[in-house]
Amino acid sequence: MLLESLRRQVLHANQEIARRGLAPHTFGNASGIDRGGSEPLVVIKPSGVDYTAMTPADLVVTNLDGKIVEGSLRPSSDLDTHTLLYREFPEIGGIVHTHSEFATSWAQAGRPIPCLGTTHADYFHGPVPVTEPLTAEEVTEAYVRNTGAVIVRRFRSGNLSPVAVPGVLVAGHAPFAWGKTPAEAVEHADVLEYIARLAFRSILLQASESGIPPYVSEHHYLRKHGPKATYGQAKHG
């Protein structure tokens, strides 16, 4: 079986979507990429298959053009979004798409999530961005691929790093998150939902959308992700 280790990682990531309540029914999906072979290969959830019923063998392997390399089931309907993001963001190794309740609410409102506190700043270097809505032509021409295109366009226009900002809200749709691995992508999707919930409640309590002072958010982000990070334990060789 091709890419057995990555298949297990992607299966676990998909199961975590369900376990953490990040998508109802079979709405969400997770994928991972192996960039080490003669060509990059993506492992992704099959379309419409229940999380609890999936096995590593059910996962579909494709190349970055979406051509199936191994697998008998139809890949996720969001495959073209995943492959485009892998092509445009070479730093990432896993992608998770959810329909989690609060993050999706912000996406449906077409609003970015402001950085209102240090929980947010620990994971996202600035607000969680929201894309522009897809045009009628983009939907008709290639809806799934263009979903990825509007994400990339938002990051390019805002000069955003997909490493520093590991997720996005697709306007009128739902969130995508990513990371170095499928497991990290799930963590970022889970954190995104948590900070979306916190932000929603904070604004109900009349918090200012200008957020915490930049020097506070910068300090919190850098202490976890900067060159002199102090969060966690030192890594020993």
Q: What is the pLDDT of residue 234?
A: 53
| 207 φ/ψ angles, rounded to the nearest 5 degrees | -65, 145
The CATH code belonging to domain 4-225 is: 3.40.225.10
Q: Do 189 and 100 touch, CB atoms closer than 8 A? A: yes
Quote the CA–CA distance of 179 and 165 in Å, as a whole number.
10
Average pLDDT over all residues of the chain: 93
With bands split at pLDDT 50, 70 and 90, how would you rate the model's confidence at 217?
confident
The tens digit of pLDDT for each residue in 37-87 reads 899 999 999 998 888 889 999 999 999 999 999 999 999 999 999 999 999
- Which residues make beta-bridge pairs with 178? 95
The tens digit of pLDDT for each residue in 112-130 reads 999 999 999 999 999 999 9
Domain borders along the chain are 4-225
Stated length of the chain: 237
Which residues are known catalytic residues?
Answer: 122, 231
Q: What is the pLDDT of residue 138?
A: 98
* Long-range Cβ contact pairs of 148-153 (< 8 A, separation 24 or more): 148/80, 148/81, 148/82, 148/83, 148/84, 148/85, 148/88, 149/84, 151/81, 151/85, 151/176, 152/84, 152/85, 152/88, 152/89
The tens digit of pLDDT for each residue in 141-195 reads 999 999 999 999 999 999 999 999 999 999 999 999 999 999 999 999 999 999 9
**Within a 13 Å sphere around the CA of 86, how many CA atoms are in the beta-carbon half?**
30
DSSP string, 71-108: -SSPBPTTHHHHHHHHHH-TT--EEEE---HHHHHHHH
